[in-house]
Chains A and B, each alone.
Chain A
């Protein structure tokens, strides 16, 4: 009873805080100073049509590097925690007892997975022009991978390949950042070889390159997380 009272009190206290925040919010009529600076100077400084991408990759590139590191850490800890120790024989027995996934799912997977992968690649290559970017494209690729796992749960995942893709794209991201020190004004500066024409695919300097690496890295990390969870299921 006391516990329920405390819980109720906590929720009511939060509700009071939120109500105060809500009633003091008056809506915006114009951008804040910092955002106005970004909106005015971004086309000349960074050259990406998508302002969110410009902020994520260039103005706050270090934050994104840290974010990628956090995602890498969580993928690494997940695969460390769920380390496999199942034997092949159990796997075989279990496979024989399993009902195979339905015909509809298997056929749809064969058609849809390549398209989903292609859409993911499209999203992260065009991250500087359209809504989307490396993280979103990577998540789309991982969702295609989930579909693949649903259709063939007994599928063997090539962790070696995933690790290689992930490490190479992670190192390349940092290398592009270091190139910024040598060729441009500082770490992760995108103006490596000129900015290109504003609003076209080859524009915004290094942003498309960085986003391709982030997309590959995020896609392989999320796939490895999903794959590890799936493999742990087989353990008995």
Chain B
């Protein structure tokens, strides 16, 4: 029954999201749907990173009245991957905005969102 703990469930969910994202990126023809695949991939990675840092029975890494400063090391989850995920979310947002801008530009040139109709750089 160990696999029904929260960290296993969320890691499995994250991996599942990554797989759905990869599948979407590879199979979809519509550029917007490919972007959705990328964001799913992104979100899955973030969920996996945060849940790897989870320590069972502990609380968020914020020291307040309920957590003693001297005892903090035994009471909090790992703050480092959370900080990295914070960075990753922002970068993911920037990349998504860029992809959408390119799609708008491509759509204006070719009047199409189908990836098969862009043959300019195909070899």
Contact = CB atoms under 8 A, between A and B. Distances in A.
Interface of A: 7, 10-11, 14-15, 18, 21-22, 25, 27-32, 34-36, 38-40, 43, 49-52, 54-56, 60, 63-64, 67, 70-71, 73-75, 77-78, 81-82, 129-131, 133, 135, 139, 198-199, 218, 222, 225, 229, 232
Query: DSSP majority for the A interface?
Result: helix
Given A14-B22, A27-B2, 11 more contacts: A7-B23, A7-B27, A35-B80, A51-B61, A52-B82, A55-B83, A74-B97, A74-B98, A198-B63, A229-B100, A229-B104
A199 B64 contact: yes
Contacts, number: 140
A182 B44 CA distance: 42
B101 A77 contact: yes
B32 interface: no
Contacts of A199: 63-64
Interface residues of B, number: 48
A98 to B, nearest CB: 20
B79 to A, nearest CB: 4
A29 B8 CA distance: 14
Interface string B94-106: 1101101110110
